[in-house]
Amino acid sequence: MAKREEILTAALDVIARNGYRRTSVRELADAVGLSQAGLLHYFSSKEELFQEILRKRDEVDASAFESMHESPIEGFFAVIRHNSEVPGLVQLYAQVSTEAGDPDHPAREFFIERYKQFRAMFSQLIRDEQAAGRIDADLDADRIANLFLAAADGLQTQWMLDPSIDMADHVAYLWQLVTRA
Amino acid sequence: MAKREEILTAALDVIARNGYRRTSVRELADAVGLSQAGLLHYFSSKEELFQEILRKRDEVDASAFESMHESPIEGFFAVIRHNSEVPGLVQLYAQVSTEAGDPDHPAREFFIERYKQFRAMFSQLIRDEQAAGRIDADLDADRIANLFLAAADGLQTQWMLDPSIDMADHVAYLWQLVTRA
DNA sequence: GTCTATATCGTGATAGAC
DNA sequence: GTCTATCACGATATAGAC
């Protein structure tokens, strides 16, 4: 459905500017020129809507940043750098991903799957670096992968409270730590 | 006021079991045998109440774990280990700390201050290790401190989604990475 | 497919009696 | 200090017309 995509794209735009906390279904509906009920015609619930917004965001980021960098780790840094341009999306992600920690949250499965994928991707990346001799082969790729994802998430919390914190810089520093260890 | 403390202690207990998402002021009131209005007599708003609950938690953790360990880093690990016994509190903290990222959130100042303190404490700890020759003096204590706090926060998100993730183990691994670098 | 209108709900806040 | 009662509100969800 083209309309669904149109809604999600518009939603990303609104939320990037207004943040998650202030954004109701009604406002997203306004942004696409639909009524609240009209918008919910395309999604089974508010929670599903926001989950799909986040999925769309991943998709947009992936196609924007993954291909344009030679090494995958550079793409990762680029996404993080980009994040500081879209505070509302950072807030959206941080908020919903922690809500999804609740056993009954409808987006829980989505996030479990998402972390599984990112974890696999990242630990593969590290193993590749190990194979190439750029990271000590003794290091535990899985644990390091989890630590990178955790650092990226946790830095968002700090950055929202103090935007002078440079998220990308910190993650790059962690990378430096790992590559020289 | 003794009553305020009594309320906060009871609240910690309820939330540790039920989590944040499900917990309304009314339920906390029930737990201390007060009406909702009766409880709010002691706090200016729901948001202030939850902020104070988190402050109380820090206080409890600090007195429980800081003194019983010789080195401060061990206390840090102990708190993290303890966290996996109280999922509701992890959820509470994760949730409110990200909500506080909003510029208008009443608990924003509280968290800014809290991070400032933890950051200072942690980077001092690292500098001490550097002075003792256990951490390379070339490393940037401030950035590493932020990375530890970020990792601890981010691991909570992952752990809530997958409790088989060992938060303390991961943080200890990061410590190992830093001490051998 | 989209709208209008409304049901329904939870819940935080407040007024005022005791 | 504490309760009862009520308000106010901001949602989301849904029924039913067009």
Does the pLDDT at position B69 exceed 90?
Answer: no
Which residues 12-51 of chain B have a CB under 7 Å from nucleic chain D? 29, 33-39, 41-42
Closest CA to B154 of B131, B140, B139, B171: B171
Domain that holds residue A109: 45-178
**Mean pLDDT score across all residues of chain B:** 97
For residues B34-61, one letter each, b for 16 or more C-beta atoms within 10 angstroms of the residue's C-beta and e for the rest, the string is: beeeebbebbeeebebbbbbbebbeeeb
Are the C-beta atoms of residues B147 and A173 closer than 8 Å to each other? yes
C11: residue with closest CA to C1': B24
- State the CB neighbour count (10 A cutoff) for residue B84: 15
At residue B131, the pLDDT reads: 98
- Please report which helix (H) or strand (E) contains residue B57, including its range: helix B46-61
The 10s digit of each residue's pLDDT in B109-137 is 999 999 999 999 999 999 999 999 999 99
Whether residue B25 is contained in a domain is answered as no
Whether residue A102 is contained in a domain is answered as yes
With a pLDDT cut of 90, the percent of chain B lying above it is: 95
At residue B70, the pLDDT reads: 82
The 10s digit of each residue's pLDDT in A87-105 is 999 999 999 999 999 999 9
In chain B, whose CA is at the least distance from the CA of A111? B161
Whether residue A30 is contained in a domain is answered as no
Cα angle B103, B104, B109 (rounded to 5 degrees) comes to: 75
**Mean pLDDT score across all residues of chain A:** 97
Closest CA to B115 of B97, B141, B92: B97
Which residues 54-73 of chain A have a CB under 7 Å from nucleic chain C? none
CA distance B66 to chain A (A): 23
At residue A102, the pLDDT reads: 97
Q: In B, which residues are within 8 Å of A107 by CB distance?
A: none
Whether residue A125 is contained in a domain is answered as yes
Q: Any idea what DSSP says for residue A39?
A: H
At residue A159, the pLDDT reads: 98
Match 């109701």 to its residue by tokens.
Answer: A24
Whether residue B128 is contained in a domain is answered as yes
Does the pLDDT at position A28 exceed 90?
Answer: yes
Whether residue A7 is contained in a domain is answered as no
CATH number of B80's domain: 1.10.357.10
At residue A21, the pLDDT reads: 93
What's the rounded Cα separation, in Å, for the pair B80 and B140?
A: 23
In chain B, whose CA is at the least distance from the CA of A155? B150
* Measured CA A44 to C1' D14 distance, in angstroms: 12
Does the pLDDT at position A38 exceed 80?
Answer: yes
State the total domains in chain A.
1
Whether residue B35 is contained in a domain is answered as no
At residue A9, the pLDDT reads: 98
At residue B181, the pLDDT reads: 72
Closest CA to A176 of A99, A73, A68: A73
Whether residue A94 is contained in a domain is answered as yes
**B176: pLDDT confidence band, cut at 50, 70 and 90?**
very high
